[in-house]
Amino acid sequence: MKAVYLLPCSCGKKVPVDAGQAGAQVSCECGQQLKVPTFRALKDLEQETSVAAVAIGGAKSDWNAVRGIMFSFGLLISLIATVLICYHLYTYWLMWDGGEAWKQEHLEIMREGVDYLAPADALAEFQDMATKGLTVDGVPPWSQVAGVRDSSRRWLLGALVALGVGLVSLTASLIGAGRSKAK
């Protein structure tokens, strides 16, 4: 088994090197170029004691990458979700208002038409229109509004879930970073 030595960098990290790299240059995670001592001087350096230690080091840097991805993913999802929530909240609000106004206006027109019919027929006709939403010119405007409103509501729910996922991902990556700094 090859002996692994730990070459200290001014940033505080230790770069693992082996005898084969004696006299060569290695780069630290911080970007600094470090000169590996000669074979003789290398033996004075701290030595990596076990394979497990190397494995832990590897796992740590993997975990950093995972956290980075989680952070970026969380941030991206949260931003997209926030934009969607703002947009659909606005649409929902607009449609809610517009829908009611349109509906009232249309019902008023219908009531005027209803006046020409016999009371019983008029009531039946009116109820039929109001419940089924059938008018002479096809789909009543408030049905369309309701459709848009419902789709906005679905978008809102989806975006809220996405925001939750994004925030959890962000929080998890930040908690992980805090913990590793504390160590």
By CB under 5 A, residue 168 contacts Zn ion? no
**10 Å Cβ neighbour count for 106?**
17
| Residue number, 5 or 92, with CB nearest to Zn ion | 5
User: Are the C-beta atoms of residues 17 and 5 closer than 8 Å to each other?
Assistant: yes
C-alpha to C-alpha distance for 37 and 14, rounded to whole angstroms: 14
| Residue number, 11 or 123, with CB nearest to Zn ion | 11
By CB under 5 A, residue 26 contacts Zn ion? no
Q: Which residues of 15-50 are buried (b: 16+ CB within 10 A; e: fewer)?
A: bebeeebbeeeeebeeeeebebbeeeebeebeebee
| Residue number, 13 or 153, with CB nearest to Zn ion | 13
Spatial CA neighbour of 103 closest among 144, 57, 42: 144
Among 4, 6, 28, 146, binds Zn ion (CB under 5 A): 28
Q: Given its phi and psi angles, is residue 179 left (phi above 0), alpha (psi -120 to 50 degrees) or beta?
A: alpha
By CB under 5 A, residue 101 contacts Zn ion? no
By CB under 5 A, residue 30 contacts Zn ion? yes
By CB under 5 A, residue 69 contacts Zn ion? no
In the complex, least distance from residue 32 CB atom to Zn ion, rounded to whole angstroms: 5
Total binding residues for Zn ion by CB under 5 A? 6
Spatial CA neighbour of 5 closest among 45, 62, 56: 45
Query: CB under 5 A: which stretch of 25-33, 35-43, 117-125, 154-162 binds Zn ion?
Result: 25-33
User: Are the C-beta atoms of residues 54 and 4 closer than 8 Å to each other?
Assistant: yes
| Residue number, 11 or 86, with CB nearest to Zn ion | 11
In the complex, least distance from residue 14 CB atom to Zn ion, rounded to whole angstroms: 9
By CB under 5 A, residue 9 contacts Zn ion? yes
Residues that bind Zn ion (CB under 5 A): 9, 11, 13, 28, 30, 32
